[in-house]
Structure 1
Amino acid sequence: MSTDNKTTTERLSDVAVRANALCQTVAQQSDNINTSLQQAKAEFDDWKGSFTEVVNGLLVHKEGRNKRFSFAQVLDNGGYDARGQGPNPDFATCANPKEPYYINLLEFVAGANGWFGNYGDRFRCEFIMSHRGMYSTSDHIVITGTSFEDCVSGRVEIKNITEHTLTGHLALFVSEPNGDREKELNPKIEDYSNSFPFNFRAVNQGFGPGVARITLKVDPKFHCGAYRALSVQCEYSSDRARPSNIRVSHEQPSWNQL
């Protein structure tokens, strides 16, 4: 029928039919586009997974068998009491003294065979803690080591450290089957040197389950009036290593704590 002979109602009906057909075509194309986008995203995520992954909330970059991550945080020191009338007489300028922080730089979870790594596995962690970005009053520690079979150990290099008249400002902390231990890091101690070897999990303590950690203990009471911000960068190759699930805490880590 010629459109000239159609009524207005019939013409509007034809327009509606064509519009519906066009909408169906657009919807089909939209579905095709969405499908293509989903496929492309899946391919991108698969490709991206070869280079990055999220482990315990941190983005870990992968390059061959090496992995690396970083994190930063400000440590609450409890505030400053200019009157010197804080509750702790040894730290009278601390308005609300805080307990020590445990900074878990990196951890190794024992595998089914009790190993913390394989042949040639290595790690490196760099720790910097400063007030207002002033390196002269910063603590800068670099730890380089290996993780293989039942041992995690390395060399601790002190690049810079804040000198305090009281002890206990900064220490290495270790929890292992044979017990907990600490090593103070302070330039006043007799055996202070630029670097020294250190066991974070010594050999001959069995091959059972557990976690070996690279941990620093920081007492913020020394920082009242001059808060500290820390930065950590770690790289590792062991498939048993990872960023710690609890990176900064007042809770002392334990050997069996996952």
Structure 2
Amino acid sequence: EPSCCSIEQSSCCDSSEEDWANCVAGTLHENELIELIQKAGFKDVVCTGHTHYTTAETTKGATFSATKIPADERRENHWDGIFKNVDYTQVLWHQSSPQKSIELIEKYVKDDANIIDIGSGASYLVDNLLQNGYKNITLLDTSKTALEIVKSRIKNNKVQFICSDILNFKNDKKYDLWHDRAVFHFLLSQKEREQYFNVLANSLEPKGIAVISTFKVDGPIQCAGLDIVQYNHQKMLEELPSDLNLIESEEFTHVTPKKSAQEYIYFIIQKK
């Protein structure tokens, strides 16, 4: 029998008995449980008492209260923490030269196009676009720290910076091209992915282009300590709403600053 419960293996918890904890193998100290609950996205975690349940003379059951942290707040805290505490040029997703993104952007839009880079982080994409003559660039990221890093690096007052969670983003401005290198694959729920495409479609001009890259099927299963969803051409097709067309996809191997390989796939999507 399974040693603990999971979404797929929950039958061990199906019981009318009060003592449901018999589906869990092993015990944890109270502080370890609190840390585990916090990592699951809760704050203000407090042990509110102990129960009669025991598996040994030295163990007791426990009850906890906690407050669920909203998903957008968790994302902001996670990414801002990374850019505050880590050298961004050494994170595994960093590209010293984002050539594949540049190649695809130049293929689909001219240098007067309105471009938005979603989850821009501290990427060198904007530096390269400016060098190549692109003038109308917006950077969006949930991390204020990441945007401040780029501001101080490029020193260009024509670039627009927006600090926002992608699922909360609203803007009257319409864009010719939407670029997203590895934001979409962090959205684990169908509801979040539907909201993402709703924001995308509302942000693009008619016939506008989205360049989206994710880890591909059989590629990495996590990034920056977070779970991701892998994609291939068919899987992305199944995700797209009726107002968006997948016009091409291309696999790409990224060589990390540690010289390891990460398998990505780029999708070119057009608004109808």
Q: Same fold (TM over 0.5)?
A: no
Higher strand share: 1
Structure with more of its chain in helix, by fraction: 2
Higher relative contact order (CA 8 A, sep 6+): 1
Q: Which TM bucket (shorter chain)?
A: under 0.3
Q: TM-score, normalised by structure 1?
A: 0.23
Q: Compute the TM-score of the two structures, normalised by the length of structure 2.
A: 0.22
